[in-house]
Amino acid sequence: MRRLLAAALGLTAAAVALGPRAAPLGAEAAHILVFDSSRSGRFRIYTQPPGGQATLLVRDTGGNDFAPSVSPRGRKIAYSRRANGNYDIYIASVATGAGARLTRSPAIDAFPAWSSTGEIAFESTRAGGVNYDIYVWDAGHIRRLTAAAAVDGLPTWSPDGSHIAFDSNRNGHFQIMRLPAHGPGRPVALTPASSNAVQPSWSPSGTSIAFAGNASGRYQIYVVDVHTLAVTRVTTDAGNDYQPAWAPDGSRIAYVSDAGGHHRMWTIGPQGQSPTQVSDKGGELPAWLS
């Protein structure tokens, strides 16, 4: 299992598409969620206030928009766009929905992650072939962060901007790995290589990373302590759970589940308390706008 939305968009054959459709979120949500959905026939970016209706955020005229990441002050989002067969990173104003292209490469640039200091990490095939590496955009300059004969992707920043976590299959199975964002250092595995661990989301406290893992035989949400490497299982339902996204105050984790045979967004406490369904038909790659 690699990416979920990626397969639907043809990013990599290792992904598995769930094909969800967005729906209104319930009143339980403590903050505004931003997510992508194919409800219009192509993937587009939406926002959802607590108890309200989904609203289109990025008002593009074509292509597929997916994988939103919120800027430090919540005024912009970075996101991936597939248009005319090409994948690049774009930025849109939350106030106006107007988008602007950030990267221009014939390679795949996708799955951006905004740091607290304004840098944007993303995965890319700029090195050639099917090799994915992590790159960082900083004020117009792009630097390569990883260089392995593997798939390194889906970056997430530590709250202080000092480290990036990502998933990688460089050791066989996908693992969650951590790497200094600036200066020397080698990637350090945070999860075992005996099963797959993907889609990391760093907690606001900086002490934990949520991820989707299949150690139980199906994908569930787990949390790993970045210091002790202790892993705690968060979800225990009968379905597959993916794409965790930590709320800004650390009180909830949003995720996508196929429990019951339908793909829906849920939230849950970091110790597994009070799992709550917040959409009745779908939504993908949730992030928290506020």
Report residue 99 as tokens.
């988008």
pTM above 0.75, yes or no: yes
pLDDT number for residue 232: 97
Give the CA dihedral 111, 115, 121, 122, nearest 10 degrees. Answer: 0
- On the question of pLDDT at 275 being above 70, the answer is yes
- On the question of pLDDT at 207 being above 50, the answer is yes
Identify any residues that bridge with 152 across adjacent strands, giving them in sequence order: 168
Greater pLDDT, 277 or 208? 208
pLDDT number for residue 281: 63
Cβ atoms of 29 and 266 closer than 8 Å? no
- Eight-class DSSP state of 27: T
- pLDDT band at residue 60 under the 50/70/90 scheme: confident
Average per-residue pLDDT for the chain: 87
pLDDT number for residue 50: 67
Cβ atoms of 177 and 188 closer than 8 Å? yes
pLDDT by residue (tens digit) across 150-186?
A: 999 999 999 999 999 999 999 999 999 999 999 888 9
Over residues 226-239, mean pLDDT: 95
Q: Which residue has the tokens 């369904």?
A: 277
pLDDT number for residue 54: 83
Burial 225-244 (b: 16+ CB within 10 A, else e): ebeeeebeebbebebbbbbb
User: Which residue from 156, 166, 147 is spatially nearest to 114, judged by alpha carbons?
Assistant: 156
- pLDDT band at residue 242 under the 50/70/90 scheme: very high
Identify any residues that bridge with 165 across adjacent strands, giving them in sequence order: 156, 178
- pLDDT band at residue 24 under the 50/70/90 scheme: very low
Conformation bin of residue 57: beta by default, left when phi > 0, alpha when psi is -120 to 50: alpha
Percentage, residues of the chain above pLDDT 90: 71
3-state secondary structure of 118: coil
d(CA 205, CA 233): 18
pLDDT by residue (tens digit) across 12-21?
A: 323 322 222 2
User: Which residue from 164, 158, 102, 104 is spatially nearest to 133, judged by alpha carbons?
Assistant: 164
pLDDT number for residue 10: 40
pLDDT number for residue 276: 87
